Amino acid sequence: MPPKLFQSEILAIEPELGDASRVTISVPAGMANEVRPGQFVHILPRGEGTLDPLLRRPFSVMRPRPENQSVDILVRPFGRGSGWIARQKIGASLDVLGLLGNGFSINPSARNLLMVAGGVGAAPLVMLSEEAVEKGLNVTFLMGGATAAALLSPSQLPESVEYVVATDDGSQGHHGFVTDLAPNYVPWADQVFTCGPEMMFRSLRRALEPHRLHRKPPIQVSMERSMACGIGACLGCVVETKKGMSASCVDGPVYDLDLIDW
Ligand SMILES: Cc1cc2nc3c(=O)[nH]c(=O)nc-3n(C[C@H](O)[C@H](O)[C@H](O)COP(=O)(O)OP(=O)(O)OC[C@H]3O[C@@H](n4cnc5c(N)ncnc54)[C@H](O)[C@@H]3O)c2cc1C
Ligand code: FES
């Protein structure tokens, strides 16, 4: 389905990850059936009568809800744009462009999938985990946050997913970075998927490098670059790859970690 510009309604808002919210927004007919894990919607974070903020903000789809033509997104009030979206109430109207981006892909031969999530980076990995479990695959979901309150609620994941957490302050699970946990799973994992802050990707890369052989298991990463147009026109979101510059809104946001020029 090509990207569409549409008016969406906020259907539900639930607290999640401490200061973030799980927001259910309506989407055009058929879109919730088409969305792939890792794709995102680009939301204009302002009301009528103002041009500020000027640019849309990207949000990964956390969960499609085809039964009522809607999707869930996870919104952390980080700055002006996400803060405006987080302040909206049920029934509010949003100007949305979507679906955008390429999404994650599960190799047909993979059986064991390792997710490594930091903060709101959990959103696309929840959807990927649900899809994987439906296919009968094994999923371990590593989640990192500053405190216990900032972690994803386990009820957001299918029961069969092994959920392991790390907190910066040691209030739950491993006391330290989520990337400290990942090397233990390298012999088991056929594929690794990660989403979160860029610093986390760098530390994941460093942590896994000594344990990987011939770049196995492969690692897919969803890059979080600031975006403007969302359709490949402004080059505001470029990622430097070993094959040259890449517009992450259309060629990404998901890349092979080994392809990124760190
Ligand atoms: C593909 C993609 C998926 C995303 N999914 C989610 C999601 O599911 N949930 C969620 O809460 N957020 C998500 N984000 C991030 C969300 O879009 C940011 O909160 C938003 O871009 C920041 O906008 P703001 O208006 O809140 O902050 P601003 O007020 O615009 O910025 C505050 C500060 O942060 C910097 N900044 C702005 N954008 C980014 C960025 N993307 N990365 C690093 N620094 C930045 C600015 O330069 C500024 O210094 C995603 C981003 C991308 C690219
Ligand atoms: S945001 Fe304009 S090219 Fe990607």
249 lines ligand 2 (CB under 6 A): yes
Q: Are residues 132 and 85 in the same domain?
A: no
Find the CATH number of the domain harbouring 117: 3.40.50.80
219 lines ligand 2 (CB under 6 A): no
Q: Please, which residues have CB within 8 angstroms of residue 152's CB and are 6 or more apart in sequence?
A: 16, 17, 117, 122, 126, 143, 145
**Domain end marker among 100, 128, 149:** 100
Q: Are residues 128 and 50 in the same domain?
A: no
Note the pLDDT tens digit of each residue in 228-261: 999 999 999 999 999 999 999 999 999 999 999 9
Q: Are residues 207 and 168 in the same domain?
A: yes
Is 247 inside any structural domain? no
- Entry pTM: 0.95
247 lines ligand 2 (CB under 6 A): yes
User: Which residue, judged by its Cα, is nearest atom 32 of ligand 1?
Assistant: 79
Q: What pLDDT does 135 receive?
A: 97
**Domain end marker among 44, 68, 100:** 100
Find the CATH number of the domain harbouring 27: 2.40.30.10
Q: Are residues 62 and 123 in the same domain?
A: no
pLDDT grade, residue 143 (50/70/90)? very high
Average pLDDT over residues 40-64: 95
Average pLDDT over residues 63-83: 97
Note the pLDDT tens digit of each residue in 167-193: 999 999 999 999 999 999 999 999 999
Q: Are residues 124 and 177 in the same domain?
A: yes
Q: What pLDDT does 126 receive?
A: 98
Q: Are residues 86 and 121 in the same domain?
A: no
Q: Are residues 93 and 162 in the same domain?
A: no
User: Residue 43 pLDDT > 90, yes or no?
Assistant: yes
- Mean residue pLDDT of the chain comes to 96
Q: Which of 156-160, 182-186, 212-216, 237-241 has the lowest mean pLDDT?
A: 212-216
Average pLDDT over residues 210-231: 94
Pocket probe mutation, ligand 1, options 41, 226, 237, 246, max atoms within 8 Å of Cβ? 226
Q: Are residues 8 and 72 in the same domain?
A: yes
Count of structural domains within the chain: 2
Angstrom CA distances, 14 to 74, 75, 116, 155, stand at 10, 10, 23, 13
Six-digit token string for 57: 């903000």
Q: Print the domain residue range for 36.
A: 4-100
Q: Please, which residues have CB within 8 angstroms of residue 144's CB and are 6 or more apart in sequence?
A: 116, 117, 118, 119, 165, 166, 167, 168, 177, 178, 179, 196, 200
Is 88 inside any structural domain? yes
pLDDT grade, residue 1 (50/70/90)? confident
Q: Are residues 122 and 93 in the same domain?
A: no
User: Residue 48 pLDDT > 90, yes or no?
Assistant: no
Is 175 inside any structural domain? yes
Q: How many CA atoms lie within 13 A of 120 on its CB side?
A: 22
Q: Are residues 122 and 180 in the same domain?
A: yes
Is 182 inside any structural domain? yes
Is 257 inside any structural domain? no
Is 259 inside any structural domain? no
Please give the distance, rounded to the nearest whole angstrom, from the Cα atom of residue 61 to the centre of ligand 1. Answer: 14
Is 262 inside any structural domain? no
User: Residue 27 pLDDT > 90, yes or no?
Assistant: yes
**Domain end marker among 100, 130, 155:** 100
Please give the distance, rounded to the nearest whole angstrom, from the Cα atom of residue 165 to the centre of ligand 2. Answer: 34
227 lines ligand 1 (CB under 6 A): yes
User: Residue 262 pLDDT > 90, yes or no?
Assistant: no
Q: Are residues 23 and 81 in the same domain?
A: yes
Q: Are residues 37 and 65 in the same domain?
A: yes
Angstrom CA distances, 171 to 86, 117, 146, 223, stand at 26, 18, 9, 28
Is 258 inside any structural domain? no
Average pLDDT over residues 154-178: 97
Note the pLDDT tens digit of each residue in 95-134: 999 999 999 999 999 999 999 999 999 999 999 999 999 9
